[in-house]
Amino acid sequence: MRRALTRTLPAAAAQARALRSAPAFRMPSSSNTSKIATRRLHATAQHLRPASASAPAYAVDSYPTSHEQIKDVQDTPYFIDNKFLKSETTQFIDLHDPATNNLVTRVPQSTDAELKAAVESAQKAFPGWRATSVMARQQVMFKFTQLVRDNWDRLAASITLEQGKTFADAKGDVLRGLQVAEGACNIPQQMVGEVLEVAKDMETRSYREPLGVVAAICPFNFPAMIPLWSIPIATATGNCLILKPSERDPGAAIILAELAEKAGMPPGVLNIVHGAAKTVDFILDEPAIKAISFVGSNRAGEYIFTKGSANGKRVQANLGAKNHAAILPDANKQHALNSIVGAAFGAAGQRCMALSTLVMVGETKEWLNELAESTKALKVNGGFEEGADLGPVISPQSKERIEGLIASAEEEGATILLDGRGFKPAKYPNGNWVGPTIITNVKPHMRCYKEEIFGPVLVCLNVDSLDEAVDLINANEYGNGVAIFTKSGATATAFQKNIEAGQVGINVPVSLPLDCLILPGIRALIVS
């Protein structure tokens, strides 16, 4: 939040003279410089709470690194005032390993009292955290990022077990979040205000201030990255955060809460609650919550944006996507096909930046069989298995929906070039498996093109020219990201200028920007 202050310069000059004449602001002599520097350093350090030497009261176990049945299944705790607590609810959501459908944990639907307690904890913590110097908050971030690095494998194991990603992909999930956490260590520079002389003897100053209690509603597909977008930025800027991880895989967020406590984050600055629609509605209706960040589907995001905004909250909603790649005849064929296979099927296609739609220009449609052969080489298996390229989808319901969209494409006249339905690894026959699927001869009116599939499915359309490809992509509901594969700089430049999308990859798949850049998008992707 920015706050502006306008004052006359004579008054400002008088204040500055008074400050300079005060003992604390006298220029030190060479003999006492070090003492003053030491005093100021200690004054900053007084705002810091010592990092915890012991684990929080409710121990958070490390996750196993295999898909074997867990013998002693524990309920997921919630986190308030730097304590892990067992919910008093009678309503739980069973969480299963997507590779086996074995029970991993039970996730509580936080009670009304627990939700209210989280808000009260954050409200109580806010005045002190806001008054803590930005340099002191930065020190907490330094410790936090190091603890995330130290617990990298532990976080990744929780993701593989609960979400289904391969262990390597899960480590990448943590890495992309860690990059944002490291960016939060630069918060002092980002919190600097501005000053402008707006008239003779008059200046206006702007200050960046925290809003207060804010909330983050996280999706299932990046259990570490999205919380790591939210926790460091919200808290380093002086806000107190209520985090609702996905009820499908909250384990990584729980570990991050433990690490935040160990890093020295005071009680109440980060609280974690659980649940589904009831918890979301509480966040949307609670007057004390000033802002909400959401990542997820269009349907949920539009509801959250509409209701949250109507209640006077700042709402940032990152929604669905249907990313296209245009491949031209002059492209480096092998590079283009390899890039598309990785971008379409990595993370089992369960990411908003997946290249789920391929627009084949001219004669490139003859490359489809080679694309299919490259895709067949992917190894689909449990995420802890050596050499796995992609794992299962998140739930039986997702598997059913994805397979239904594949079937609808066939019914509407498309061709299933590579069919992943019915795939089962021998070791894990009970998982939520959908093998890589390629659908060709797709038309814009088909469901498989219009809807976000969010699975390991690539839909392919044929056009005759680059202009036709641009028109097709620009007519789509989504405007998240696109890519083009070509050797021509002129073609790439024309595509970049004429395409209507937030992110453009040239001879690279679309990827999320680094933490120093915004996450752009248009049309149905972002509302805020």
The pLDDT tens digits for 185-215 are 998 888 888 999 999 999 999 989 999 999 9
Rounded to whole angstroms, the Cα distance separating 346 from 391 reads 9
The answer to whether 198 and 204 have CB atoms below 8 angstroms apart is yes
Q: Do 341 and 211 share a structural domain? A: no
Q: Of the candidates 287, 318, 349, which is a domain's last residue? A: 318
The answer to whether 382 and 352 have CB atoms below 8 angstroms apart is no
Query: Tens digits of per-residue pLDDT, 110-131?
Result: 999 999 999 999 999 999 999 9
Q: What is the per-residue pLDDT for 366? A: 97
Q: Which residues make Cβ contacts (< 8 Å) with residue 132, sequence separation at least 6? A: 47, 48, 238, 266
Q: Do 269 and 137 share a structural domain? A: yes
Q: Percentage of residues in the chain with pLDDT exceeding 90?
A: 80
Query: Domain holding 98: CATH number?
Result: 3.40.605.10
460 sits in which H/E element: strand 457-463
The mean pLDDT value for 385-394 works out to 98
Range of lowest pLDDT (35-44, 363-372, 496-505, 517-526): 35-44
Q: Of the candidates 275, 299, 318, which is a domain's last residue? A: 318
Query: Tens digits of per-residue pLDDT, 63-84?
Result: 889 999 999 999 999 999 999 9
The Cα-based distances of 81 to 51, 85, 354 in angstroms read 15, 10, 38
The model's confidence at residue 12, banded by pLDDT at 50, 70 and 90, is very low
Q: Is the pLDDT of residue 283 over 80?
A: yes
pTM for the predicted model, two decimal places: 0.88
Range of lowest pLDDT (171-180, 184-193, 264-273): 184-193
Closest by Cα among 488, 434, 498 to 468 = 498
Q: What is the per-residue pLDDT for 252? A: 98
Q: Which residues make Cβ contacts (< 8 Å) with residue 279, sequence separation at least 6? A: 109, 110, 115, 244, 273
Measured from the Cβ of residue 490, the count of other Cβ atoms closer than 10 Å reads 8
Q: Do 454 and 354 share a structural domain? A: yes
The Cα-based distances of 119 to 134, 230, 270 in angstroms read 23, 17, 10
Which of the two residues, 88 and 20, has the higher pLDDT score? 88
* 305-344 CB burial, b ≥16 within 10 A, e <16: bebbbeeebebbbbbbbbbbbbbbeebeeeebbebbbebb
Q: Is 460 noted as a catalytic residue in this protein?
A: no
Whether residue 255 lies inside any domain: the answer is yes
Measured from the Cβ of residue 135, the count of other Cβ atoms closer than 10 Å reads 14
Q: Do 331 and 303 share a structural domain? A: no
The mean pLDDT value for 168-178 works out to 97
Query: Tens digits of per-residue pLDDT, 326-351?
Result: 999 999 999 999 999 999 999 999 99
Q: What is the per-residue pLDDT for 4? A: 57
Name residue 244's beta-bridge partners. Answer: 217
Which of the two residues, 423 and 527, has the higher pLDDT score? 423
Q: Which residues make Cβ contacts (< 8 Å) with residue 425, sequence separation at least 6? A: 380, 381, 382, 431, 433
Q: How many domains does the chain have?
A: 2
- Helix (H), strand (E), coil (C) string for 345-386: HHHHHCCCCCCCEEEEEHHHHHHHHHHHHHHHCCCECCCCCC
Class of residue 214 by CB neighbours under 10 A (exposed 0-12, middle 13-18, buried 19+): buried
The answer to whether 208 and 88 have CB atoms below 8 angstroms apart is no
Backbone φ and ψ of 367, nearest 5°: -90, 0
Whether residue 51 lies inside any domain: the answer is no
The mean pLDDT value for 492-506 works out to 93
Q: What is the per-residue pLDDT for 41? A: 35
Q: What is the bridge-based pairing of β-strands 289-295 and 522-523?
A: unpaired
Q: Is the pLDDT of residue 295 over 60?
A: yes
Name residue 381's beta-bridge partners. Answer: none
The mean pLDDT value for 484-506 works out to 95
Whether residue 5 lies inside any domain: the answer is no
Measured from the Cβ of residue 273, the count of other Cβ atoms closer than 10 Å reads 26
Query: Tens digits of per-residue pLDDT, 423-476?
Result: 999 999 999 999 999 999 999 999 999 999 999 999 999 999 999 999 999 999
Which of the two residues, 18 and 158, has the higher pLDDT score? 158
Q: What is the per-residue pLDDT for 5? A: 53
Mean model confidence pLDDT for the chain: 89
Q: Do 233 and 251 share a structural domain? A: yes
The model's confidence at residue 17, banded by pLDDT at 50, 70 and 90, is very low
Q: Is the pLDDT of residue 234 over 50?
A: yes
Whether residue 29 lies inside any domain: the answer is no
Q: Of the candidates 300, 318, 336, which is a domain's last residue? A: 318
Residue 397 DSSP SS3? helix
Range of lowest pLDDT (43-52, 83-92, 277-286): 43-52
Whether residue 438 lies inside any domain: the answer is yes
Q: What is the per-residue pLDDT for 320? A: 86
Rounded to whole angstroms, the Cα distance separating 402 from 153 reads 30
Q: What is the bridge-based pairing of β-strands 2-8 and 202-208?
A: antiparallel
The model's confidence at residue 55, banded by pLDDT at 50, 70 and 90, is very low
Q: Is the pLDDT of residue 31 over 70?
A: no
Q: Do 245 and 215 share a structural domain? A: yes
Q: Do 494 and 415 share a structural domain? A: yes
Residue range of the domain that includes 272: 77-318
Q: Is the pLDDT of residue 299 over 50?
A: yes
Q: What is the per-residue pLDDT for 466? A: 97
Rounded to whole angstroms, the Cα distance separating 126 from 410 reads 56
Q: Do 371 and 242 share a structural domain? A: no
Whether residue 231 lies inside any domain: the answer is yes
Q: What is the per-residue pLDDT for 510? A: 73
Whether residue 183 lies inside any domain: the answer is yes
Q: Is the pLDDT of residue 284 over 90?
A: yes
Q: What is the per-residue pLDDT for 319? A: 87
Q: Is the pLDDT of residue 399 over 70?
A: yes
Instruction: Indicate which residue of 185, 218, 352, 448 is catalytic.
Output: 352
Q: Do 280 and 139 share a structural domain? A: yes
Query: Domain holding 347: CATH number?
Result: 3.40.309.10
Q: Do 191 and 155 share a structural domain? A: yes
The model's confidence at residue 28, banded by pLDDT at 50, 70 and 90, is very low
Whether residue 12 lies inside any domain: the answer is no
Range of lowest pLDDT (27-31, 201-205, 218-222, 492-496): 27-31
Q: Do 287 and 393 share a structural domain? A: no
Rounded to whole angstroms, the Cα distance separating 426 from 452 reads 29
Q: Percentage of residues in the chain with pLDDT exceeding 70?
A: 85
Q: Do 118 and 236 share a structural domain? A: yes
